[in-house]
Structure 1
Amino acid sequence: MEASARPPRIVVIGVGNAFRRDDGVGPVVVDALARHGEHSPLPPGTGLFVCDGEPVRLLTLWQGADLAVVVDAALARPPRPGRIHRIGTERVLRAAAHATAGSHGLGLRTAVELARALGRLPAHLIVYAVEAADTRAGPGMTSPVRAAVAPLVRRIAADVARHARPAAP
């Protein structure tokens, strides 16, 4: 009998600061995924992490990953708080060359550019950007962003499961 291949290394990284209201959506989603996993476990090889968005930390967390899912708050004009944007690898790379959608200045854009230059991008990268209403100092998210958490957890769990599913022979 052949030894089975290692499961894909999948990371979900919640970027944000829980003390900047809607900016805390990334960590809240990671926490909700951990609770979701108690009832419906995520595939083996899935890691859940929280990060402040600093580029080197992001590179370290997604290094060697088959799939990296990054969740971050986004500032948009005009804003539609709670709206979720799913951005795949190619679009992330194109966007990194121009601007960032996150609320952390150059963090994600810089991380993607640096990872590309160093050959350290994950095989697949998905960014979920949740439009924020308020990123001022203070705890707690606004209602529209809080309402986006449960649907986003389901979408990420589905992405992770789909990616972890072995390819048909």
Structure 2
Amino acid sequence: MRNRGRIAVIGVGNEFRHDDGVGWAVLARLRARAEDRPLPPDTVLAACDGDPGRLIGLWEGARLAIVIDAAHTHPGTPGRVHRLELDAGLLAHPPPTSSHGLGLGEAVELARVLGLLPEHLVVYAVEGARSEMGTGLSPAVADAVEPLVEAVEDEITRQGDVAPRGAT
């Protein structure tokens, strides 16, 4: 799966656990918008259940990886979005608690040790209100989807235009 020019946009979560499906909802909206606003041809949109091995496989070799995931914070503000950026192999701030057994921090650390980090990693963590079984996002999280889609498109435009390291 190595392609040094690849951009990976990864929606993490479970669409059958209400707000935990926010990453998948952002991917669905990006796919729909891509009909009128095509993404760069080297962009891959992928859903993931949060398993660290699968996350690493999806971002391995990417020059830019953008991860969208639900987060649980206490106290929380449903719909609030946190942007975290990888800096020299470490997340700039500890991520909010993941809604999965192992968090994104563990995947990043494992990928760092294995030398499988993307060149640049941006994480959007969305505070959720509901994570029990069921479909549909809470209103506050649903309201965050369109701004997240625009933020992801902006990340791709700003950082995706940079030539991969070692490119001639």
TM-score, normalised to structure 2's length?
Answer: 0.89
2:45 alignment counterpart: 48
Q: Which runs of 5 or more residues in structure 1 are unaligned? A: 1-5
Question: Cα deviations across residues 119-148 of structure 1 (Å, max 9, x unaligned)?
Answer: 100000000000000101111110000000
SS of equivalent residue, structure 1 residue 112: helix
Question: Cα deviations across residues 62-95 of structure 1 (Å, max 9, x unaligned)?
Answer: 0100000000001111111001111001298246
Q: Greater helix share, 1 or 2? A: 1
Q: In 2, distance between residues paired with 1:11 and 1:18?
A: 19
SS of equivalent residue, structure 1 residue 39: coil
TM-score, normalised to structure 1's length?
Answer: 0.88
Q: In 2, distance between residues paired with 1:82 and 1:100?
A: 13
CA distance 1:100–1:166, shift in 2 (3 Å): closer
CA distance 1:14–1:94, shift in 2 (3 Å): closer
* Alignment-mate amino acid for residue 47 of structure 2: V
Percentage identity across paired residues of the two chains: 51
Q: Return the index of the structure with the highest Cα Rg.
A: 1
1:37 alignment counterpart: 34
Report if aligned partners of 1:134, 1:142 keep a CA contact under 8 Å in 2.
Answer: yes
Q: How does 1:128-139 map to 2 (within 5 A)?
A: 128-139=124-135
Q: How does 1:103-122 map to 2 (within 5 A)?
A: 103-122=99-118
Q: In 2, distance between residues paired with 1:16 and 1:53?
A: 6
Alignment length (residue pairs): 161
RMSD value over aligned CA atoms? 2.0
Pick one of 105, 109, 123 that aligns with 1:127: 123
**C-alpha displacement at 1:107, in angstroms?**
3.6
Q: In 2, distance between residues paired with 1:99 and 1:12?
A: 18
